[in-house]
Amino acid sequence: MTPPRVLIIAGSDSGGGAGIQADIKTVTMLGGHAMTAITAITAQNTLGVQAVMPVPAETVLEQIDAVLSDLGADAIKIGMIGSAATSDAVAKRLESLAGIPIVFDPVMVATSGAVLADAGTIASFERLMAVSTLVTPNLPELEVLAGHALADLDDIEEASADLYRRFGCAVLAKGGHGSDEGITDMLVWESGTIRQYSKRVETQHTHGTGCTLASAVATGLGAGLPLDRAVDRGVRYVHDALLAAPGYGLGNGPIGHALATTPYHHLKAAAEGGDWGVETWDALWSPERARH
């Protein structure tokens, strides 16, 4: 099957745990082809965000147009948007697209606590929500979008349903910021509400979970999965990646996108085992062959 083409509109994370870097890893691991339009460059690590430089809105649009005019896209994921001007410009451009599922992760604050969207940018999110298939806020983000505190799951469901009624987008309210022992993710969409419970992984290495989940769902939608199945697969992937976190950094470290595997190593092992026919791996990749 041809890999689904996923255009990622998001910021760069120099530490590799979140943002564009996490998105590319996720899309690749789930069988897609990742393409990017970078909205901001950040200097950050597991301890926090040291600097942010937004990319001009015109340059973001040029990246989007370059990708869509040639490669096309089967799904689009939006993460850190950078500025209100970029948010409005991207929304206007995406309004002209039809039939491409769009997943919007309304990034406001990094896991470390750094603010990644000012009040003006957050106010502009309404236009992005209106063009999105799915919006994936965590609990603090949903409270900002709803305009009030949310005390329990019923409040979360009502706030999500209100966004669905107002903007026509399905809402995946992520439960990782809750205080319960387990995590309840809630999907509110045209078929009603699905509450999905999973065990909480006790780890400080959670950087990039939101980016990863949104990109995982976008990849599933790009491959033709129905929304509920794409969400279910995405949640499972994040859970497994948390279990496989490599433990890097002194703070909130990255999750294990590769799931503790080394794909190239397995490819080599398969070749040595004869899966590639009569030719051995050494014959396939000999220096003499490479020169031809």
Over the chain, what is the mean pLDDT? Answer: 89
pLDDT of res. 82: 87
**174 tagged catalytic:** yes
Task: Spell out the domain ranges in the chain.
Answer: 5-261, 262-292
Q: Is the pLDDT of residue 279 over 60?
A: no
Catalytic residue among 16, 17, 176, 210: 210
Structure tokens at 1: 């099957």
d(CA 73, CA 89) in angstroms, rounded, equals 19
Q: Is the pLDDT of residue 109 over 80?
A: no
Q: Which residue has the higher pLDDT, 128 or 285?
A: 128
pLDDT of res. 30: 97
Q: What is the pTM of this model?
A: 0.89
Q: Domain 5-261 adopts which CATH fold?
A: UDP-N-acetylmuramoyl-L-alanine:D-glutamate ligase (3.40.1190)
Q: Is the pLDDT of residue 286 over 90?
A: no
Catalytic residue among 26, 121, 209, 212: 209
Question: How large is the average pLDDT for residues 28-37?
Answer: 97
pLDDT in tens, 162-198: 999 999 999 999 987 766 778 999 999 999 999 999 8
Catalytic residue among 178, 208, 220, 253: 208
**209 tagged catalytic:** yes
Structure tokens at 111: 């896991």
pLDDT band per the 50, 70, 90 thresholds, residue 247 = very high
**206 tagged catalytic:** yes
**210 tagged catalytic:** yes
Catalytic residue among 15, 16, 39, 174: 174
Contact present, 126 and 135 (Cβ < 8 Å): no
pLDDT of res. 276: 45
Q: 80: closest CA among 42, 48, 50, 46?
A: 42
Catalytic residue among 77, 211, 212, 219: 211
Question: How large is the average pLDDT for residues 69-73?
Answer: 98
